[in-house]
Structure 1
């Protein structure tokens, strides 16, 4: 077993990993988008999540 090198502190919080099950047609569409944009499927999902959160922000703030 190879020991991992410790990461240098950057001052940024580490991203949180998550997993989600997607219908095959949704994942296939994500792959097509990623290929067209020359990015990863993970990047497409993060971008979509960022846009969704921005869209929902007014609803979240009015609920406070």
Structure 2
């Protein structure tokens, strides 16, 4: 079976890579959280972004 371009063999879209510069204190805190949870810093950032977007959803759904 050949995977479609841009998709994993499971059919899910591939993740988009993003880059951001963070202050050293913030990154250090993210590392501490990741270490305690036994996950990657990327996982912590994705989790935080998902929660932030969920909190903003009512704002995104309203039309100006």
Q: TM-score range by the shorter chain?
A: 0.7 to 0.9
Aligned residue for 1:33, secondary structure, equals helix
Unaligned runs of 5+ in 2: none
Map of 2:40 onto structure 1:
40
Aligned residues: 59
Unaligned runs of 5+ in 1: 1-5
Map of 1:3 onto structure 2:
none
Across the aligned residues of Structure 1 and Structure 2, the Cα RMSD in angstroms comes to 1.8
Which protein has greater RCO, CA pairs closer than 8 Å, 6+ apart? 1
User: TM-score scaled by structure 1?
Assistant: 0.83
1: CA distance between counterparts of 2:37 and 2:9?
A: 31
User: TM-score scaled by structure 2?
Assistant: 0.83
2: CA distance between counterparts of 1:63 and 1:22?
A: 32
Map of 1:59 onto structure 2:
59
